[in-house]
Structure 1
Amino acid sequence: MSAVLAEPETTWRTVPLSEAVEISPKADRAVLTDTTLVSFVPMAAVGAGNGQIDTSTIRPYAEVKKGYTHFRDGDVLFAKITPCMENGKMAVAHGLHNGVGFGSTEFHVLRPRAGVDSRYVYHFVSGAKYRNEAAHHMTGAVGQKRVPVSFLERSEIPLPSLHEQRRIVAEIEKQFSRLDQAVASLQRVKAQLKRYKASVLKAAVEGRLVETEADCARREGRGFETGAELLQRILDTRRSQWKGKGKYKEPAAPETSGLPELPEGWVWATYAQLGDVTTGFTPPTIDTSNFGGALPFMKPTDLDAGANVASAREYLSMQGAAKGRILPAKSILVTCIGATIGKTGLSSVPCATNQQINALSVVTATVLPEYAYYWTASPGGQRQIIDNASATTLPILNKSKFAALPVPVPPRTEQHRIVAEVDRRLSIVREVEAEVDANLKRAQALRQAVLARAFAGTSS
Structure 2
Amino acid sequence: MSAKFPTAKLTDIAELNPTLGKKLPAEELVSFVPMASLSAESAKVETTQDRPYAEVAKGFTPFLDGDVLVAKITPCFENGKIAQARLPRPHGFGSTEFHVVRARHGIAESRYLHHYLRLEEVRANGQRRMTGSGGQRRVPASFLADQAIPLPPLEEQRRIATILDQTETLRTQRRTALALLDRLTQSLFLDMFGDPLDNTKRWEWRCMSELFETSPIFGTMIPAEAEKGSWLCLRVANIQDWQLTLEDKKYVDLPTSAIERHSVQAGDLLMARAIASQEHLGKCVVAQPGDELWAFDSHLMRLRFRADKALPEFIRQMLRTPGGRNIFLNASRKSSVQYNINTKEISALEVPLPPLPLQQTFATRIASIEALKTTHRRALAALDALFASLQQRAFSGELTLAAPRSPAQSLAQLQQLEASIGLEALIFIAKRMPDGDLYNSLKAIYFADRHHLEHYGHQIYNETYCALPHGPVPQSAYDATRVLIGERMFSDFDDDAMRAALRRNDKKLTALRDADFSKLSRSVVESLEWAVRYCSDMKFGQTKTASHDSAYERTPKNEVIPLKYIIDTLPPEARQRHWNL
| TM bracket (short chain) | 0.5 to 0.7
- 1:194-253, Cα deviation, whole Å (9 max, x unpaired): 5787799999999xxxxxxxxxxxxxxxxxxxxxxxxxxxxxxxxxxxxxxxxxxxxxxx
Cα distance 1:41–1:456, how it changes in 2: closer, same or farther (>3 A)? same
Identify the match of residue 36 of structure 2 among 33, 44, 59: 44
> SS state of the match for residue 85, structure 1?
helix
1:190 partner amino acid:
L
State how far apart, in whole Å, the 2-side matches of 1:451 and 1:19 are: 22
State how far apart, in whole Å, the 2-side matches of 1:387 and 1:112 are: 47
1:441 alignment counterpart: 381
- 1:310-352, Cα deviation, whole Å (9 max, x unpaired): 999999999xxx9xxx667455445679434653334675656
State how far apart, in whole Å, the 2-side matches of 1:346 and 1:190 are: 19
Cα distance 1:51–1:385, how it changes in 2: closer, same or farther (>3 A)? closer
1:385 alignment counterpart: 324
> SS state of the match for residue 58, structure 2?
coil
> SS state of the match for residue 69, structure 2?
strand
Q: How does 1:285-304 map to 2 (within 5 A)?
A: 302-304=238-240
Matched, 1:78 2:70: yes
Q: Is the 8 A contact 1:296 1:311 kept in 2?
A: no
Structure 1 residue 37 displacement after superposition: 3.5
Q: Is the 8 A contact 1:333 1:358 kept in 2?
A: yes
Q: Is the 8 A contact 1:42 1:104 kept in 2?
A: yes
1:115 alignment counterpart: 106
Q: Is the 8 A contact 2:242 2:284 kept in 1?
A: yes
Matched, 1:91 2:83: yes
1:172 alignment counterpart: 160
State how far apart, in whole Å, the 1-side matches of 2:244 and 2:48 are: 44
> SS state of the match for residue 442, structure 1?
helix
State how far apart, in whole Å, the 2-side matches of 1:36 and 1:446 are: 43
Structure 1 residue 376 displacement after superposition: 0.8
1:159 alignment counterpart: 151
Cα distance 1:328–1:112, how it changes in 2: closer, same or farther (>3 A)? closer
Structure 1 residue 443 displacement after superposition: 1.6
State how far apart, in whole Å, the 2-side matches of 1:172 and 1:376 are: 47
Question: What is the aligned length?
Answer: 368
Matched, 1:186 2:174: yes
> SS state of the match for residue 31, structure 1?
coil
State how far apart, in whole Å, the 2-side matches of 1:203 and 1:41 are: 37
1:147 alignment counterpart: 139
Q: Is the 8 A contact 1:39 1:55 kept in 2?
A: no
2:58 alignment counterpart: 66
1:224 alignment counterpart: none
* Backbone CA RMSD of aligned residues: 5.2
Matched, 1:19 2:12: yes
2:61 partner amino acid:
T
> SS state of the match for residue 77, structure 2?
coil
> SS state of the match for residue 150, structure 2?
strand
> SS state of the match for residue 19, structure 2?
coil
Provide structure 2 residue ranges, at least 5 long, that are not aligned to the other structure: 335-339, 402-581
2:64 partner amino acid:
R
Structure 1 residue 119 displacement after superposition: 2.8
> SS state of the match for residue 190, structure 1?
helix
2:211 alignment counterpart: 274
Q: How does 1:3-14 map to 2 (within 5 A)?
A: 13-14=6-7
State how far apart, in whole Å, the 2-side matches of 1:308 and 1:24 are: 41
State how far apart, in whole Å, the 2-side matches of 1:94 and 1:381 are: 33
2:418 alignment counterpart: none
2:324 partner amino acid:
I
2:376 partner amino acid:
V
Q: Is the 8 A contact 1:75 1:118 kept in 2?
A: yes
State how far apart, in whole Å, the 1-side matches of 2:85 and 2:320 are: 45
Q: Is the 8 A contact 1:201 1:374 kept in 2?
A: no
Q: Is the 8 A contact 1:268 1:409 kept in 2?
A: no
> SS state of the match for residue 26, structure 1?
coil
2:392 alignment counterpart: 452
Structure 1 residue 52 displacement after superposition: 1.9
> SS state of the match for residue 39, structure 2?
coil
State how far apart, in whole Å, the 2-side matches of 1:400 and 1:438 are: 34
Matched, 1:404 2:350: yes
2:394 partner amino acid:
A
Cα distance 1:367–1:309, how it changes in 2: closer, same or farther (>3 A)? farther
2:17 partner amino acid:
S
State how far apart, in whole Å, the 2-side matches of 1:425 and 1:94 are: 38
Provide structure 1 residue ranges, at least 5 long, that are not aligned to the other structure: 207-256, 262-266, 284-288
> SS state of the match for residue 138, structure 2?
coil
Q: Is the 8 A contact 1:339 1:394 kept in 2?
A: no
Q: Is the 8 A contact 1:139 1:145 kept in 2?
A: yes
> SS state of the match for residue 377, structure 2?
helix
Structure 1 residue 361 displacement after superposition: 4.8
State how far apart, in whole Å, the 1-side matches of 2:34 and 2:243 are: 37
Q: Is the 8 A contact 1:309 1:345 kept in 2?
A: no
State how far apart, in whole Å, the 2-side matches of 1:70 and 1:102 are: 4
- 1:337-391, Cα deviation, whole Å (9 max, x unpaired): 943465333467565655xx776455xxx5369x541331245995773463567
1:152 partner amino acid:
L
State how far apart, in whole Å, the 2-side matches of 1:43 and 1:454 are: 29
Cα distance 1:150–1:346, how it changes in 2: closer, same or farther (>3 A)? same
Matched, 1:104 2:95: yes
> SS state of the match for residue 182, structure 1?
helix
2:381 partner amino acid:
K
Cα distance 1:423–1:390, how it changes in 2: closer, same or farther (>3 A)? closer
State how far apart, in whole Å, the 2-side matches of 1:36 and 1:394 are: 47
State how far apart, in whole Å, the 1-side matches of 2:320 and 2:235 are: 20
Cα distance 1:146–1:119, how it changes in 2: closer, same or farther (>3 A)? same
1:385 partner amino acid:
G
1:399 partner amino acid:
E
Structure 1 residue 156 displacement after superposition: 0.9
State how far apart, in whole Å, the 2-side matches of 1:385 and 1:95 are: 38
State how far apart, in whole Å, the 1-side matches of 2:12 and 2:328 are: 57
1:75 partner amino acid:
D
Cα distance 1:78–1:383, how it changes in 2: closer, same or farther (>3 A)? closer
State how far apart, in whole Å, the 1-side matches of 2:385 and 2:285 are: 30
